[in-house]
Structure 1
Amino acid sequence: MDTDVRRYLDDLLAVARAVLGDNLIGAYAAGSVGLDAYQPGRSDIDVALLCADPLPEQTKRALVAGLRHEALPCPARGLELVTYRRSVAASGTPEPGFEVELNTGARMPFRATYAPADRPVADGHFWYALDRSILRQCGYPLLGAPAAEVFADVSPADLRRLLVDALGWWLALPTPPGDEPAPGAEDAVLGACRSLVRVRHGRWLAKSEAGQRLIADGDEATPVIERAIAARRGGPPPSGPQARAFQQRVLDEITQTP
């Protein structure tokens, strides 16, 4: 693990312990850190905290105040932190189910959400159950039991529905027309790769690793996937139409998967 990330996670855990006390029973690095695919300068730091009991409003706000970038500078693009109750993590629910959510960083818009009902539907409610599914497989424990013992997966039917919702959300975003490289199109392509690999092979992989897996499978979109992988190393991303065509094909396949 990157030294700066490790130090930051230690400091984050110290703040969480100070605020939550005995109610804090678990902490897990997720996302690129959990998948061993962290890229300095590009990746976020994703963390899930686990509490035994519901958090009072005052405690939620104290946690946000202690962990926001201005109080604890994040060495990455930003921190994406979500806190769950133990019962929610173990339930396999497809619902968001979080206690508090915090996005903060030097290059990330600040967001603090104190209840799932406050999360705008347009921003997507599918993220959380998908993140918990990834956590179950590869969450890196900072505190508490192994992630596989804490986080339950969603049912296959719910997983498919959540992936369809996620792909639909991405496809609804505006993209520039024409053949010019579209900034961010690489994440759209590789995110779709990860969804397709999860459906085909039953495992979550890091985005670029998922792209490599589809290339090894002989996917017809190999040139677009290769361009998306290269873009994460500084090359030009795919065009908007290329990304959308690939996403739509992945959406069609997942929708038709029994």
Structure 2
Amino acid sequence: MTQPDVRRVLDDLVDGAREALGDRLVGAYLVGSFALGSADEWSDVDFVVVTDGRVEGDGLDALRALHRRLPDGGGWASHLEGSYADLADLRSPMTLGRRWWYVDNGSRELEQSAHDNTAHTRWLLRERGVVLTGPPPRDLVAEMGAPALRAEALGIARARAEQLEGDPSWYDDAWFQPACVLTSCRIVHTATHAEVTGKTAAAHWALEHLDPVHRPVIEAALADRAHPWDRVHRQADPALVAPTRALVWDVVRLAGQAALDARD
């Protein structure tokens, strides 16, 4: 993995978005693990393109064509993931959760999704976003305060725990299980510090600050970070299933406590 490899893919994205959107392109930004300096060879290439108004008509058709062809470049071009965010939405906290045009990692199709319209991604865009073209993201994105980040972290923690109780078979998946652990660490880190960091950094923080009972499953998840796609549809280590579930529920408690502590 080299920075020029990623930059070439991002240049192709920006050039294509500029051609598709014309004057409606406000800016394009690198977010995610590459923006945080924590990317590895298994990371997504996360982006946000800011537009003047919601994209539709010929502009949308051109963007669809762009994302159908970008993965043909291979390598990092197959791991682009991001959204086309309306500037008006970014300027208002009241529009959190509104759906934007989004392309998932490995996909060639745009879909309507709120995946990136979160306090988490807006904070990351504003505070850590890397400018590919356009003005500084702080000029575009309303500030995401600590209460919003903590409330979102707690909501996500609860929703994940309840969803997994409804379908615990996910814990048995060798791809999902370590990813679940690392995501849990990032959720509780955000709830505690009201800022966003990478999953690996959050896991190392969790090793030092969470109950030592969680240490084995976190260490195993860090060791399993490599080659995650090789484990899709394989069974997770049965010995890690119960500790993962315990961590998921403990994160609900910890995120709730962090929110209460911040109010005192």
Question: Fold match, TM over 0.5?
Answer: yes
Residue segments in structure 1 that go unaligned for 5+ positions in a row: 120-124
Paired AA for residue 52 in structure 1: D
Where has structure 1 moved over 6 Å in runs of 4 or more?
235-238
- Distance in 2 between residues matched to 1:151 and 1:211, nearest whole Å: 28
Question: Against the structure 1 CA distance between its residues 126 and 100, is the aligned structure 2 distance closer, same or farther, given a 3 Å change threshold?
Answer: closer
- 3-state SS of 1:113 partner: strand
Letter in 2 for 1:190: L
* 1:4-83 equivalence runs, <5 A: 4-40=5-41, 42-69=42-69, 72-76=72-76, 78-83=79-84
User: In structure 2, what is the equivalent of residue 194 of structure 1?
Assistant: 186
Shift in alpha-carbon separation, 1:255–1:217, aligned structure 2, 3 A:
closer
Q: For 1:131, which of 115, 121, 129 is the aligned residue? A: 121
Q: 1:62-115: CA deviations, max 9, x gaps?
A: 11211235665352352212011222112233623354212252xxx554224x
Question: What's the counterpart of residue 160 of structure 1?
Answer: 150
Tell me, what secondary structure is at the counterpart of 2:48? Answer: strand
Equivalent in the alignment of 1:217: 209
So what's the TM-score if we normalise by structure 2?
0.80
Instruction: Measure how far apart 1:166 and its partner are.
Output: 2.4
Please tell me the residue identity of whatever aligns with 2:56.
Answer: P
* Residue range with higher mean Cα deviation, 15-24 or 226-235: 226-235
CA distance in 1, matches of 2:210, 2:98: 38
Residues 167, 85 of structure 1: alpha-carbon distance in 2 compared, 3 angstrom cutoff: same
Contact 1:186 1:229 in 2 (8 A): yes
Aligned residue in 2 for 1:122: none
Contact 1:85 1:98 in 2 (8 A): no
Secondary structure of the corresponding residue to residue 6 of structure 2: helix
* Distance in 2 separating the partners of 1:159 and 1:101: 22
Change (3 A) 1:66 1:39: same
- Equivalent in the alignment of 2:111: 113
Deviates most, 48-57 or 159-168: 159-168
Q: Does 1:228 align with 2:251?
A: no
Give the Cα–Cα distance (whole angstroms) in 2 for the partners of residues 110 and 96 of structure 1: 23
Which shows bigger deviation, 24-33 or 51-60?
Answer: 51-60
Q: What do you get for the CA RMSD once the two structures are aligned?
A: 2.8
> In the superposition, relative to structure 1, how do residues 177 and 163 fare at CA in structure 2: closer, same or farther (>3 Å)?
closer
Aligned positions, number: 244
Rounded to whole Å, the distance in 1 between the matches of 2:55 and 2:226 is 41
The structural deviation recorded for 1:32 is 1.4
Structure with greater helix percent: 2
Q: TM-score with structure 1 length normalisation?
A: 0.82
CA pair 219-233 structure 1, distance change in 2 beyond 3 A: farther
Q: 1:239 is aligned with what amino acid?
A: L
Q: Is there any run of 5+ residues in structure 2 with no aligned partner, and where? A: 229-235
Instruction: Give the whole-Å Cα distance in 2 for the aligned partners of 1:98 and 1:218.
Output: 34
Partner-residue secondary structure (3-state), 1:83: strand
